[in-house]
Amino acid sequence: MIKNEVETIIEGNKVIYKRYFDISAELLFEIWSLEEHLTQWWGPDGFTLTSKSMNFSNGGIWEFIMHGPDGHDYKNKIQFIDIKKPFHIYYKHLGDGEGAKDVDFQAKVIFEKAGEDTNLTMEQIFPSKEELERVNQKYGAIEGGKQHVANLSKYANSLK
């Protein structure tokens, strides 16, 4: 894993992002799981976030609005599938929470201890390679994912 860079791998219908963090898996997991942290870093560059409701538990739902730099609001709804503290968070993106599923994927966020530090792997799994390509073309999903992980890193470093 390359230190201080987001490594990105595309495999068919999957995008895998990897990054080394020089903080504990426990702290990184907390940053990824508590609303007060998520609202500070979640999303690509230029976006801000308003959390409407969050139930961080297996089967729980998180509804939030991402405010784009273009002034557009993007409603989002996530269902947490499997949470194992501080090892992983698996979730399914359910679209905008109002029936529209323009962006449909599952994600696996894995926190791997590396001594006192953490290797993070985030996988986004789309229904097909074509769907990944469509979402990437329409929304810039792969670059957005890189920025998402980089913003997590900037925020985590601000807590040290």
Residue 80 in this model has a pLDDT that exceeds 80: yes
Q: Look at the chain and report how many structural domains it folds into.
A: 1
- The domain of 136 spans 7-159
Task: Give a yes or no: residue 63 inside a domain.
Answer: yes
Q: Which CATH number is 102's domain given?
A: 3.30.530.20
| Residue 119 in domain | yes
Domain annotation covers residue 70: yes
Residues in the chain: 160
- Mean pLDDT, residues 156-160: 90
Q: Are 159 and 50 in contact (CB under 8 A)?
A: no
Residue 102 has pLDDT above 90, yes or no: no
> For the whole prediction, is pTM greater than 0.95?
no
Residue 1 domain-assigned?
no
Residue 2 inside a domain? The answer is no
Phi-psi region of 4 (alpha: psi -120 to 50; beta: other; left: phi over 0): left
- The tokens describing 101, both together, are 């599923």
Chain segment 114-137, per-residue pLDDT in tens: 999 999 999 999 999 999 999 999
